[in-house]
């Protein structure tokens, strides 16, 4: 029939070639689109129904390919790829830009006083804990105790780093002090992400063949994925936490801001937001979300399990998380 959509479209993978940086960037510009936060629960459920129906071989009447891909990206923006559970609003990647815009902007603005340093580092790590849990890899459960340990450790690490560097830079030029929040965020990412995903480091994450068939669980794959995510997150913070301080340091010496100091915070938040709009998807695109690893690099027992199922497989795939 005219308008009947074929069932051969592979919506398990992204629309664009993930073997290239440009393809991954286009994919993540769609995934991190803040407009997805404005979608209603009914729209999310409709997208889920469309995607699940298509995967089951049922095509909604009149469905076009563009509509199918739109439904897939709406579905991916709100539901975990391994568990299928709906993620909390601020834990979704589409919340990264607006949430980080506010938090990072305030960290960079209110870096001089200890109480504000404490508050905004706490707010940032609370947000990061939600994001890291929501975008973890695999479907292994994590206990409340593990969540609490990760949260407390990352928050403590960020606050100690921020306060320690703040005291060391008190007598240095003001521009140096503006970079203290970035150092604290980088240190906290190295703590928060591995701890929040410690369950993956204990039991491993699913590895699959090219068609998505589960072959086993690997701790080595989890380690690779977590390192990639840490690098991406620190890279994501670099433009937003390095460019605005330089600009603001120059602007605050000018008469315009001296007469209007109340403009400093909104201006800094706006600059951070402008950086994040590009830095967030581009840094997510540094590594494919569906990463690959050679079977020979996995643990011996996992290699044996995979070769028992299919001796011809040399490469397996895993979701690195975000």
* pLDDT per position as a tens digit, 244-281: 888 887 887 788 777 877 777 788 888 888 888 898 88
- Residue 44 belongs to some domain of the structure: yes
43 & 133 share domain: no
- Residue 223 belongs to some domain of the structure: yes
* Residue scoring higher pLDDT (156 or 176): 156
128 & 269 share domain: yes
Q: How far is CA 118 from CA 106, 121, 123, 187, in A?
A: 12, 5, 9, 15
175 & 255 share domain: yes
pLDDT bin (cut points 50, 70, 90) of residue 23 is very high
Domain end among 44, 67, 86: 86
Lowest mean pLDDT among 88-97, 100-109, 159-168: 159-168
Q: What is the mean pLDDT of residues 297-313?
A: 86
- Residue 5 belongs to some domain of the structure: no
- Residue 159 belongs to some domain of the structure: yes
69 & 123 share domain: no
| Average pLDDT taken over every residue of the chain | 82
Q: What is the mean pLDDT of residues 158-172?
A: 72
Query: How confident is the model at residue 2, as a pLDDT?
Result: 42
Please state the domain count of the chain: 2
Question: What's the token pair of residue 301?
Answer: 């027992």
Q: List pLDDT tens digits, range 1-16.
A: 345 788 788 888 888 8
129 & 59 share domain: no
220 & 290 share domain: yes
- State how beta strands 315-319 and 290-294 pair: antiparallel
Among 128, 312, 301, which residue's Cα sits nearest to residue 219?
A: 301
DSSP annotation string for 194-241: HHHTHHHHHH-EEEE-TT--EEEEEHHHHHHHHHHHHHHHHHHHHHHH
Domain end among 86, 109, 124: 86
- Residue 27 belongs to some domain of the structure: yes
Question: What's the token pair of residue 215?
Answer: 């072959």
Q: List pLDDT tens digits, range 106-147.
A: 877 777 788 888 888 888 878 877 877 777 665 556 677 777
Query: How confident is the model at residue 25, as a pLDDT?
Result: 92
144 & 272 share domain: yes
35 & 119 share domain: no
- Residue 10 belongs to some domain of the structure: no
Q: List pLDDT tens digits, range 43-75.
A: 999 999 998 888 888 888 888 888 999 999 898
38 & 123 share domain: no
- Residue 3 belongs to some domain of the structure: no
- Residue 130 belongs to some domain of the structure: yes
How far is the C-alpha of 6 from the C-alpha of 98, rounded, in Å? 37
Domain hosting residue 258, numbered range: 93-319
53 & 141 share domain: no
189 & 306 share domain: yes
Domain end among 51, 86, 121: 86
79 & 100 share domain: no
pTM: 0.72
């Amino acid at each position: 029939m005219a308008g009947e959509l074929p069932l051969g479209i592979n919506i398990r993978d992204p629309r664009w070639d993930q073997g290239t940086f440009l393809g991954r960037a286009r994919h993540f510009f769609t995934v991190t689109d803040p407009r997805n936060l404005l979608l209603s629960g009914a729209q999310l459920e409709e997208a889920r129904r469309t995607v699940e129906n298509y995967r089951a071989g049922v095509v909604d009447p009149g469905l076009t390919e563009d509509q199918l891909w739109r439904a897939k990206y709406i579905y991916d923006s709100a539901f975990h790829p391994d568990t299928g559970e709906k993620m909390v609003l601020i834990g979704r990647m589409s919340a990264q830009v607006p949430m980080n815009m506010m938090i990072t902007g305030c960290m960079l603005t209110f870096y001089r006083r200890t109480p504000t340093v404490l508050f905004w580092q706490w707010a940032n790590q609370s947000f990061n804990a939600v994001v890291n849990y929501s975008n973890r890899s695999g479907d292994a459960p994590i206990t409340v105790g593990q969540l609490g340990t990760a949260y407390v450790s990352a928050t403590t690490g960020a606050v100690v780093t921020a306060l320690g560097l703040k005291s060391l830079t008190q007598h240095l030029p003001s521009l140096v002090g503006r970079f203290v929040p970035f150092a604290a965020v980088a240190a906290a990412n190295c703590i928060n992400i591995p701890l929040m995903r410690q369950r993956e480091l204990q039991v491993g994450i699913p590895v699959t063949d090219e068609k998505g068939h589960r072959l086993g669980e690997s701790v080595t794959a989890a380690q690779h994925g977590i390192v990639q995510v840490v690098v991406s997150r620190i890279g994501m913070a670099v433009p937003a936490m390095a460019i605005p301080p330089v600009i603001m340091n120059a602007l605050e010496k000018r008469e315009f801001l001296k007469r209007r100091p109340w403009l400093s915070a909104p201006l800094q938040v706006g600059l951070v937001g402008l950086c994040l709009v590009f830095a967030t998807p581009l840094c997510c695109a540094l590594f494919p979300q569906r990463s690959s690893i050679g079977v020979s690099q996995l643990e011996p027992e996992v290699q044996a399990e995979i070769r028992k199922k299919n001796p011809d497989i040399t490469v397996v795939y895993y979701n690195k998380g975000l």
